[in-house]
Amino acid sequence: MEGLYFGPTPGPTGLAGNFYGPVRVTGGFVAGAGLSKIDHPLDPTNKYLNHSFVESPDMMNVYNGVVRLDQNGEAVVTLAEWFETLNKDFRYQLTAMGAPGPNLYIAEEVAGNRFRIAGGTANMKVSWQVTGIRQDALANAHRVPVEEDKPAVERGYYLNPVAFGHPQEKGIAWVYRRDRILSLKELRPRDIAGADRPSTKE
C-alpha cells in the first residue's frame, strides 16, 4: 500500500514534486534514473550542469586517490578505520601517472584497512581505485534484486511507457491511480494559478 502518490502536473516542467533543501530517506529509494543538477560553474546564471549517477547492481562503494611511491617503488595506502567493516569483495585499479608503469601491482590486498602497491619506480605517482560491496546491516537485510518478475497486476504495463512508444495509459501508474491521474490531466492552467494565489479571506 502506498502512503502517497504524486503524478506530473500540467505545465512546462511536469514535475510531480519539487523540494528545496535537504531531503532524508531512511529506507530504500527507487528511481528509474539518477541525476544531479547544479548551476553551471562557468555560467551559473544562464545554464545548468547535469550529471547522471554511477550505477551498479552490487550496492558498490567506490574509493580512490593518488599516492607517491617510495624509493623502492612501493606505497602503503591507508583507508578509513571502518573500511573493512563496511565493505567486502574488493576490486583494484592502478594507473601510473607521468610515465609508464607496466609492472605495477597490488602486493598486498586490503587487510587491517590498508593495502600495498609495488612494482613501480621511485617517486612515481600512482592513481588508485578500490571498490567494495556494502556489508552493513541495512545492506545485508535489503539486497537489491537485480532482476525481478512484475506482479500479475502490473504485467503488460510499463514504468515509462512513452520511452517504449506507448501512451501514458500503458503506464503502471494507471493500474493503481487511474482516477487520480485523470483528475490531474483535467486541471487547467488557470486552476493551478488560482491555487497558487494567496487567499484573501479574513
Band of pLDDT at residue 88, cut at 50, 70 and 90: very high
Q: Which domain holds residue 168?
A: 155-193
How many C-beta atoms lie closer than 10 Å to residue 75's C-beta? 19
Task: Say if 128 falls within a structural domain.
Answer: yes
Domain assignment of residue 30, yes or no:
no
User: Per the structure, how many domains does the chain have?
Assistant: 2
In the chain, the percentage of residues whose pLDDT exceeds 90 is 54
Is the pLDDT score of 5 beyond 90? no
- The three-point CA angle 58-146-174 to 5° equals 130
End-to-end CA distance of the chain: 39
Do 74 and 112 share a domain, yes or no? yes
Distance (Å, whole) CA 60 – CA 31 = 17
Residue 97 lies in a domain: yes
- Out of 24-28, 145-149, 172-176, the most confident range is 145-149
Co-location of 185 and 134 in the same domain:
no
- Average pLDDT of the chain to the nearest whole number: 85
Q: What is the pLDDT of residues 149-167, one digit of tens each?
A: 999 999 999 988 999 999 9
Q: Give yes or no for a contact between 123 and 73, defined as CB atoms under 8 angstroms apart.
A: no
Answer yes or no: is 177 within a domain.
Answer: yes
DSSP for residue 163: G
CA distance 99 to 161: 50
Note the pLDDT of residue 183. Answer: 62
169 plus 111 within the same structural domain: no
How many Å apart are CA 159 and CA 161, to the nearest integer? 6
Q: Quick check: 200 pLDDT over 60?
A: no
Radius of gyration of the chain measured on its C-alpha atoms: 25
Q: What does the pLDDT average to over 182-196? A: 52
> Which cell goes with 190?
488557470
Mean pLDDT of 83-111: 98
Boundary residue ending a domain (96, 117, 140): 140
pLDDT in tens, 12-65: 667 777 777 887 777 777 777 788 888 999 999 999 899 888 888 899 999 999
User: What was the pLDDT predicted at 181?
Assistant: 59
